[in-house]
Amino acid sequence: MAAGDWIPFGEGRYLAERVFLVGDGGRLGVEIEETVVEVTEDGRGRRLRGRGRVRNDLLVELLETPDEPELWLDMGGGIAFCLEADIQAGKVFTPGLKSFALFLPRRPGRPVDPAEFNSRIAGLRSPGDPAG
């Protein structure tokens, strides 16, 4: 698969419907709110990156779990992906504080159907949930 072939959008900015960083074997999740996905095109193909708001304290707790988290991205209209991504976020960890997080896929995303996306997200709990 050539770089960018998995991205079904042309150049531009798009508002994602739902975005979650999922970790700890698929048990924990942190929502990335107000996510904007940007698609750019160059000589190597299409590239995707995004940014949205996230609670830093929950993100840090999720990233402390032993496995690599996955980014679950729902663009609406039945278009959703699961992907590995590098995440960069603010360094202030006051409980409840949100800052922008940036994500950049490491490799092409895997398309998922809406039922799989909904099933994965429905089973998540927040890293800050003491009921875990």
Give the domain ranges of the chain: 12-109
Structure confidence at residue 91 (pLDDT): 72
Q: How confident is the model at residue 2 (pLDDT cuts 50, 70, 90)?
A: low
pLDDT of 51 > 80? The answer is yes
Token reading at 13: 């900015």
Mean pLDDT across the stretch 89-98?
76
Structure confidence at residue 60 (pLDDT): 87
Whether the model clears a pTM of 0.75, i.e. scores above it, the answer is: yes
